[in-house]
Amino acid sequence: MCVFDRPKTVALKWRRNGEVTEWNPVFAYAMLEMVIGVELCWPQQPNQKGTVENLVGFVKSSFFKVRRFHDQEDLEQQLVEWHREVNQERPCRATGIIPAVRLSEEAPRLRSLKVRPKDLALRIPVYVGPTGTVLHDGHPYSMPS
């Protein structure tokens, strides 16, 4: 299950009660192919995305704001060390459990995706006109007979 905001790349139309009446067809296809459940946030309700917003704030405040970097290589080395520390040594403030320990406990409940995102070939239906061309995103393309 994944939580999404409501940009046009996800939902095109919805009712006042939040029920989606028209999904973005490319998004819907990808979610069905990867067998991912979708939960949408309510419009103008940023508190529903608190987990993501808290993570962004955590990274900014505990990594970027408290360190200095000499160059790209130095940043990458510090980031590797910081990842190790926060994932394998430091208990999470919210749960009191080290994230690596928590992940190993939850691993039996997790399942792999049916199709990995990099292996997903999007299929977008198009109409081939009598001149052998299709129109996609406002651009005409010729198609073989």
- The reply to whether 89 and 142 lie within a common domain is no
Which element (helix H / strand E) includes 133? strand 133-136
Same domain, residue pair 53 and 106: yes
Q: Could you tell me the pTM of the whole model?
A: 0.54
CB atoms within 10 A of CB 69: 13
Whether residues 32 and 62 share a domain: the answer is no
Would you say 99 and 108 are in contact if contact means Cβ atoms under 8 Å apart? no
Burial grade of 39 (CB within 10 A; 0-12, 13-18, 19 or more): exposed
Question: What's the mean pLDDT in 64-72?
Answer: 94
90 and 129 belong to one structural domain: no
Q: The domain containing residue 24 runs over which residues?
A: 1-44+115-145
- Stretch (H or E) spanning 30: helix 25-34
* Mean of per-residue pLDDT scores for the chain: 86
User: Are residues 51 and 19 part of one domain?
Assistant: no
* The total number of structural domains that make up the chain: 2
**What are 105-138's pLDDT values in tens digits?**
999 998 888 888 888 887 777 788 888 888 887 8
The verdict on 122 and 132 lying in the same domain is yes
